[in-house]
Amino acid sequence: MCTKLHNKEHVIEALHRAKFTFPGRQKKHISENWGFTEFNADEFENKMAKKSLIPDSCGIKYVPNRGPLDNWRVLLSLDL
């Protein structure tokens, strides 16, 4: 279940109550990552400020430090 951080207690309680309706043992894992990215919250904010991550519809696009300069200039010139 994916939710905002301030709803964490409500989600944990909802999963605790729902476990009685399913047989077997359910495991809860609270991720340190920001959304469905591979970066934690601090890394994500820093990389967005440095423009090394660019929003791409429902995901993000990582801008590496390598490659042709023309591609890099185009990505940084986008008004995001």
Residue 9: what pLDDT? 92
**What's the token pair of residue 51?**
């423009």
What is the CATH code for 32-80?
3.30.60.300
Contact 63, 40 (CB under 8 A): no
Instruction: For residue 55, give the H/E element and its range.
Output: strand 53-56
Structure pTM? 0.60
> What are the pLDDT digits (tens) for 24-72?
888 888 888 888 888 998 999 998 888 888 888 788 888 888 888 888 7
> What are the pLDDT digits (tens) for 59-75?
888 888 888 888 878 87
The number of beta carbons lying within 10 Å of the beta carbon of residue 52 is 16
Residue 80 has pLDDT above 70, yes or no: no
Contact 36, 59 (CB under 8 A): yes
Q: State whether residue 1 is helix, strand or coil.
A: coil
Residue 79: what pLDDT? 61
**What's the token pair of residue 60?**
């993000």
Name the segment(s) of the chain with CATH classification 3.30.60.300. 32-80
